[in-house]
Amino acid sequence: MSETVQVARLNSRGMITLKGDLADQDFQDVAVKITGLSFPSQREIRLSGEMGLAWMAADEVLLMLPVEDVSAAIETADEMLRRAPAVVANVTDARVLFSLKGKRSREVLAKLAPVDLSREAFQPGQIRRTRLAQVAAAFWMPQEAQFEIMCFRSVADYVTELLEMSAAPGTVPEYF
């Protein structure tokens, strides 16, 4: 119970939802062109600096980018996907991001999410959509001992309290 886990609410990050046929080359090209990252496979996330590209569902990816680049990116996407049955939506304001940092971050999250958070089961490069206690959330690991957590804006206060309570000093077991 020595090291503490730091909880922080992150600055807004640009986010674009792309829904369509993930196998379609145009669709993949849009995501790759905007983020400069390779297209992720099932439940994978690519990250580089402020850029991110996450597999969200069988017909959906999430693009992360600097907020100021969102408008131009949406124009690009709309243009490239003009003929495809796809949808591009700005969801920057719909989500809130948190980070957990510290050796026992896995334990903090394991109090809230019904997910196997062992090193074998969950590593950097993966994204998991699940629930944190009573609300929907997704998380990934930029690197070991570090999580980024995404939830809906309206429940940000709830998630803040959840994370802070779970990370309270002296309460985090050493398990993983």
Partner 1 sequence: MSTRLAIGGLLINRDVPVEFTFNGSRLRGFKGDTLASALLANGESFIGRSFKYHRPRGIVASGAEEPNALVNLGKGARAEPNQRATTTELFEGLEARSQNHWPSLKYDVGAINSKLSHLFPAGFYYKTFMHPRSAWKHVFEPFIRQSAGLGAAPVEKDADRYEYFYATVDVLVIGGGMAGLAAARQAGEAGAKVLLCEQTQAFGGRALVDELEVDGNNGPEWVASEVAALESMERVTLRTRMMGAGVYDHGYVLAYERLGDHELSSTGPRHRLWRIRAKQVITATGAIERPLSFAGNDVPGVMLAAAVRDYVALYGVSPGDRTVVVTNNDDGYRTAMALHAAGLVVPAVLDARTEATGALPEAARAAGLRVETGRGIASVKGTTGVEAVEVCAQAGEGAVLEAISCDCVAMSGGWSPVVHLWSHCGGKLLWDEGQALFRPDAKRPPTGAGGEGFVITAGAASGALQANVALADALDAGKNAVAALGGSASGRAPKAVVPAEEPVAPVWRMPQGAGYKLRSKAFLDYQNDVKVSDVQLAAQEGFESVEHAKRYTTLGMATDQGKLSNINGLAILSDALGQPIPQTGTTTFRPPYTPISMGAIAGEARDGLFKPIRKTPMDGWHDENGAHWEPVADWRRPYTYRGAGESVSEAVTREILNTRTAVGLLDASTLGKILVKGPDAAIFLDLIYTNMMSTLKVGRCRYGLMCTENGFLFDDGVVARLSEDSFLLHTTSGGSDGVYGWLEEWLQTEWWDLKVHCVNLTEQFAQVAVVGPRARAVLETLGGMDVSPDALPFMGFRDGLLGDVPVRVYRISFSGELSYEIALPAGHGLAFWEACLAAGEPHGIMPYGTEALHVMRAEKGFIMIGDETDGTVTPQDLNLGWAVSKKKTDFIGKRAQERSHFQDSERKQLVGLETLDPGALLPDGAHAVEPGLNAYGAARTLGHVTSTYHSPTLERSIAMGLINGGSRRMGEVLDFPVDKGVTIRARVVDPVFLDKDGERQNV
Partner 2 sequence: MLILSCPCCGVSAEETEFTPGGEAHLKREGPGSEDAAFRDYLFQRKNPKGVHFERWRHAFGCGKWFHAARCTVTLEVFCTYTAQTANVPKEVIDTIKLRRPEWELNQ
Q: Which residue's CB is nearer to partner 2, number 1 or number 136?
A: 136
**Region binding partner 1 by CB under 8 A among candidate stretches 14-22, 25-33, 39-47, 142-150:** 14-22
Residue type, 142: P
Q: Quick check: 150 binds partner 1 (CB under 8 A)? A: no
77 binds, among partner 2, partner 1, none (CB under 5 to 8 A by kind): none
Q: Residues 149, 147, 106, 159: is their CA dihedral positive or negative?
A: negative
Q: Which residue's CB is nearer to partner 1, number 45 or number 117?
A: 117
Q: Quick check: 129 binds partner 1 (CB under 8 A)? A: no
* Residues 6+ positions from 145 with CB-CB distance below 8 Å: 101, 102, 103, 105
Q: Which residue's CB is nearer to partner 2, number 8 or number 57?
A: 57
Q: Compute the distance between CA of residue 121 and CA of residue 57 in angstroms, rounded to an integer.
A: 19
Contacts to partner 2 by CB under 8 A: 42-43, 56-58, 60, 114-115, 128-131, 136
Q: Quick check: 105 binds partner 1 (CB under 8 A)? A: no
Neighbours of 104 (CB within 10 A): 21
Q: How far is the CB of 96 from partner 1 (least distance, A)?
A: 9
Q: How far is the CB of 84 from partner 2 (least distance, A)?
A: 20
Q: Which residue's CB is nearer to partner 2, number 30 or number 127?
A: 127
Site for partner 1, rule CB under 8 A: 12, 17, 19-20, 59, 85-87, 89-95, 107, 110-118, 120-121, 133-135, 152-158, 161-162, 165-166, 168-171, 173, 175
